[in-house]
Structure 1
Amino acid sequence: MATSINRRAALGVGTAATAGVVFGSTSAASASPDSPPEQEVTETPAQRVRAAYRQAANRAGGRWRTYISVAGTAGGVTPVVAKDPDEPVQAYSVNKIAVAAAVLDKVDRGLITLDQRIDVTSTLVIPGGDGIFSLDGAYPSSVTLGHGLAALLTVSDDTAVRICGLVCPTLEINQILTDKGFPQTQVQPGSSPNRFFLGTTTPRETHDLLQALVNGTLVSPASTHFLLTALRSPIAFTDGIRHNMSSDERLRVATKAGWYADGRNEAGLIFNPAGAAVLTYAMFADGQAEPDNYGATHPVRQATAAMGRRFVDAVTDPPASVSVPRQTPAYRPSNGG
């Protein structure tokens, strides 16, 4: 798809011929009827993604640590944004993907099962915060491990973190992640061996963990399907990358957000209609205005919503090749019954 040179590029060139070109338009606004036709410049998906990121991040302000890549037509991925990609950052709930991967690694090895039941007591429940367990009001109760992981990855349930800790203690999670090649994606020990804070990562490691997931090298095929299905579900995070999308488009985005204090993070994968994972993003931002606003009007959430719309448009056509296509899940609304 051909588009005219974007506004950022036009200002960078600084010539009279391009100075009037606005991003998304097909001709210069100031051109006279007798002027020669404006030459179109074809932007690659990588260029469009990079421009969308820079424009939205600059508008939001604050500090960003980011790693974004797009898939090439011949396979592999090409980095398009690398902003302090190896700097350790507080991951917040983005690290729930890593925690789930460690738990599912034990499932893959037959040490635990998704259908085993976990006792949920009032002392296990984290009051307030995010999720559904704190809304129950009827404890003790029990859930399956699979239920806990689904809550962890979709509604970002904080109590589900403690459920994971019961079956995969802090040091074991960190060792599993280190053995898989992610020594900086680690949880932080808490008040007991089974409790932890969500810890740190780097943009590059989170990006590479997501790449390993979609390529089928992080966990087993069954566990890969479980993780991607949860992260692409309609109830997964919609205030950021997926905000300005249709329901079908949202199902093509596997995403996980994290927030605490002034930090606003999001990482995930965007798939094209053919099932190719065509864009991988890991973005960690802090220092913006409104630190007590955790909603969609926060500057970072507005920025990532703008990015997401343009990311999807940039990489949908032409489709990128991929070694392991992932079928987009179907959304089937229900009216009860």
Structure 2
Amino acid sequence: MVSQLNRRAALGLGTIATAGAVLGLQPAAAGAPDAFEADPLTESTPIEAARRIRAAYNKEAAAARGNWQAYITVPGSSEVAVSDEPDLLVEAYSVNKIAVAVAVLDKVDRKQLSLTQRINVTAAIAAGDGDGIFRLDGAYPSSVTIGHVLAALLTVSDDVAARLCGELVPTAEINSILAKKGFRKTQLQPVANPHRFYLGRSTARETHALLRQLVTGRLLSRSSTNVILSRMRSPIAFTDGIRKEMSSAERSRVATKAGWFGSGRHESGIMFSRSGKPSLIYSIFANGQAGAGNFGATHPALRARARMGRAFFDAVSPLPGESTEVELDLPLHGPSNGG
């Protein structure tokens, strides 16, 4: 990679370190020449942020190769930050678990289900392959609340939790709820058992629209909106992609959901301003990169998203974010030493 002389290089590391101490900035770590190089911002406009995000996305997607579909916006910008084959219908994998949660919580809002309602985790439901924590139990049947199911679904992307959601809301009903809300491309794939499904397809644009409607309060009640966003924003939500190169405080300002299977490595979510307002909405699908059997943070698409995430966050961090119709209740989470 050919390095370019920019203001950071001209000023020198000592000057940057002094500036960082004064301004509270975090310069890029030394010895990481492949990181997206951009001058840290103390002031910005939405359109400037959108252009910086576009540059970072284009650079990292090209370096990682493979196929990319994305739709990314900065609220308040007259330009879409990224529109890269946004209407291509692709396998969404676990990103569609957001849509599954929306369908379950739609029934909660209509008083047909309750978060405190219990459901049994049987050996049959837990059998088979997949990620998550329910399969680590080993003692069935067990009983959990719907709230517990959704927490596992949206944080550690538990596949048994997805099956439990199918027990609560059959596949055809989930698809019907999503279609009635305008998401006709975000649909699960039915199987013979009406309570089971493959996670189905979506597009980058429609997943983005779902997130935007969610965060602006047009999709679910305030309480149900917060169930989804607080789980996606928690410390145990996905950290190998967009949030990888962030501090714990910075990660708490990002609600994210990843999906992976085969060569697919997807991630969609929302970044929030310091005051808790949405400042970036992203939907990024990637497949065809090298290392299809590698589901860790060293996969090329995940490395690309980690650099994108750092650049995206720095670009929108100075922005106040967009006022929404719903007051979000997104508490910070911290570690514990027991007791």
Q: Same fold (TM over 0.5)?
A: yes
- The answer on whether the counterparts of 2:254 and 2:270 sit within 8 Å (CA) in structure 1 is yes
Residue 169 of structure 2: aligned partner: 168
- The answer on whether the counterparts of 2:272 and 2:321 sit within 8 Å (CA) in structure 1 is no
Q: Distance in 2 between matches of 1:269 and 1:281?
A: 6
Shift in Å, 1:23: 7.4
Q: Which amino acid aligns with 2:48?
A: T
Q: Percent identity?
A: 55
Q: Distance in 1 between matches of 2:195 and 2:75?
A: 38
Secondary structure at the aligned position of 1:200 is classed as strand
Q: Distance in 1 between matches of 2:282 and 2:316?
A: 13
Q: Distance in 2 between matches of 1:145 and 1:88?
A: 30
Residue 34 of structure 1: aligned partner: none
Residue 81 of structure 1: aligned partner: 82
Residue 225 of structure 2: aligned partner: 224
Change in Cα spacing, 1:164 to 1:322, as seen in structure 2 (3 Å) is: same
Shift in Å, 1:273: 0.5
Residue 237 of structure 2: aligned partner: 236
Residue 71 of structure 1: aligned partner: 75
Cα deviation, 1:178-228, whole Å, max 9, x if unaligned, reads 000100000000231100010000100000000001000111111001111
Match of 1:50 among 49, 54, 58: 54
Residue 38 of structure 2: aligned partner: none
Change in Cα spacing, 1:223 to 1:328, as seen in structure 2 (3 Å) is: closer
TM-score normalized by the length of structure 1: 0.86
TM-score normalized by the length of structure 2: 0.86
Q: Which amino acid aligns with 1:219?
A: L
Q: Relative to structure 2, which stretch is displaced further, 123-132 or 55-64? A: 123-132
Q: Distance in 2 between matches of 1:77 and 1:217?
A: 22
> Is residue 2:6 matched to residue 1:22?
yes
Secondary structure at the aligned position of 2:208 is classed as helix
- The answer on whether the counterparts of 1:69 and 1:77 sit within 8 Å (CA) in structure 2 is no
Secondary structure at the aligned position of 1:193 is classed as coil
Which of structures 1 and 2 has the bigger CA Rg? 1
Runs of 4+ in structure 1 deviating by more than 3 angstroms, as ranges, are 19-27, 324-328
Secondary structure at the aligned position of 1:111 is classed as coil
Map 1:124-163 to 2 at 5 A. Answer: 124-163=125-164
Residue 62 of structure 1: aligned partner: 66
Change in Cα spacing, 1:90 to 1:24, as seen in structure 2 (3 Å) is: farther
Q: Which amino acid aligns with 1:134?
A: R
Q: Which amino acid aligns with 1:331?
A: H
Q: Which amino acid aligns with 1:138?
A: A
- The answer on whether the counterparts of 1:252 and 1:328 sit within 8 Å (CA) in structure 2 is no
Cα deviation, 1:143-194, whole Å, max 9, x if unaligned, reads 1111011100000000011100011000000000000010000000023110
Change in Cα spacing, 1:23 to 1:171, as seen in structure 2 (3 Å) is: farther
Residue 332 of structure 1: aligned partner: 334
Residue 292 of structure 2: aligned partner: 291
Residue 15 of structure 2: aligned partner: none
Gaps of 5+ in 2: 12-43
- The answer on whether the counterparts of 2:234 and 2:252 sit within 8 Å (CA) in structure 1 is yes
Change in Cα spacing, 1:101 to 1:77, as seen in structure 2 (3 Å) is: farther
Q: Distance in 1 between matches of 2:115 and 2:86?
A: 34
Cα deviation, 1:232-260, whole Å, max 9, x if unaligned, reads 00000000000000001101000000000
- The answer on whether the counterparts of 1:71 and 1:78 sit within 8 Å (CA) in structure 2 is no
Change in Cα spacing, 1:152 to 1:334, as seen in structure 2 (3 Å) is: same
Change in Cα spacing, 1:126 to 1:68, as seen in structure 2 (3 Å) is: farther
Equivalent residues, number: 305
Residue 253 of structure 1: aligned partner: 254
Between Structure 1 and Structure 2, the one with more helix by share is 2
Q: Distance in 2 between matches of 1:60 and 1:126?
A: 35
Q: Which amino acid aligns with 1:108?
A: D
Shift in Å, 1:285: 0.5
Q: Distance in 1 between matches of 2:314 and 2:328?
A: 19
Q: Distance in 2 between matches of 1:219 and 1:295?
A: 33
Secondary structure at the aligned position of 1:79 is classed as coil
CA RMSD of aligned residues (A): 2.1
